């Protein structure tokens, strides 16, 4: 059984907490989320850009700007064109820039089965050409997109004038860590560099 002095302490702590919460509410008034400004740069990605037919399926591409070459933005794993909503408009001030959605992401149609890197870049290659996106291309790949950029450049080097890899890693890294063959789809065999 609790003693009366223990009950008073509990009551005093509870009252102190209530006073604190009420006083904080007076100092910092709550603002509903609907009053917060919306970032208008994301709105173009709320609907499809150009749905390019690549032979029975469509790949979504958001392109803007103009220039002699085209910057192609390749998002990281589980990412799609909306990942570039802050970057793309800045690049578009000086160059043509396109972001695409992999099959089954964003507004692109699903592939018949889960894709491997070479199938993703095959879709991108088809979409760039079927969508009349002028080359040569500067590939900008983040994370998994960087691995995809390397595979694209290996297959179609004549299409590429530059590449930027953002926070990517060697394709064989996970295989090396697991004591598996260190095959890198982009460059054949890859060795561990100390």
Residues 6+ apart with CB under 8 A from 144: 75, 76, 77, 79, 117, 168
Q: pLDDT tens string for the chain (194 positions)?
A: 555 555 556 544 445 444 444 444 444 444 444 554 667 888 888 889 999 999 999 999 999 999 989 999 999 999 999 999 999 999 999 999 999 999 999 999 999 999 999 999 999 999 999 999 999 999 999 999 999 999 999 999 999 999 999 998 776 555 444 444 444 454 444 444 43
Backbone φ and ψ for 144, nearest 5 degrees, come out as: -60, -35
Contact call for residues 185 and 153 (beta carbons, < 8 A): no
> Buried (b) or exposed (e) across 19-36, using 16+ Cβ within 10 A?
eeeeeeeeeeeeeeeeee
Report the pLDDT value the prediction gives residue 8, as an integer from 0 to 100: 54
Q: Where are the beta strands (DSSP E) in 24-167?
A: 50-53, 58-64, 70-74, 96-100, 137-142, 160-166
Report the pLDDT value the prediction gives residue 40, as an integer from 0 to 100: 81
Which of 95, 94, 114 lies closest to 104, judged by CA? 114
Peptide bond into 3 cis (omega under 30): no
Alpha carbons 54 and 77: distance in angstroms, whole number: 22
Alpha carbons 4 and 15: distance in angstroms, whole number: 16
Report the pLDDT value the prediction gives residue 149, as an integer from 0 to 100: 95
Report the pLDDT value the prediction gives residue 97, as an integer from 0 to 100: 97
């Amino acid at each position: 059984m609790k003693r009366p002095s223990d009950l008073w302490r509990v009551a005093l702590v509870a009252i102190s907490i209530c006073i604190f919460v009420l006083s904080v509410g007076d100092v910092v008034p709550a603002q509903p989320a609907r009053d917060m400004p919306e970032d208008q740069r994301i709105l173009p990605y709320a609907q499809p850009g150009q749905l390019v037919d690549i032979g029975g399926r469509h790949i979504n591409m958001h392109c803007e700007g103009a220039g002699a070459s085209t910057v192609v933005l390749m998002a990281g794993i589980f990412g799609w064109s909306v990942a570039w909503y802050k970057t793309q408009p800045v690049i578009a001030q000086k160059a043509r820039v396109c972001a695409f959605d992999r099959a089954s992401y964003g507004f692109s149609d699903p592939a018949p089965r889960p894709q491997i890197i070479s199938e993703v870049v095959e879709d991108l290659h088809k979409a760039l050409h079927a969508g009349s996106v002028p080359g040569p291309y500067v590939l900008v790949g983040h994370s998994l997109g960087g691995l995809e950029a390397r595979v694209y450049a290996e297959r179609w080097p004549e299409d590429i004038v530059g590449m930027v890899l953002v926070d990517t890693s060697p394709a064989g890294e996970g295989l090396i860590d697991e004591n598996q063959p260190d095959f890198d789809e982009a460059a054949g065999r890859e060795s561990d560099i100390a």
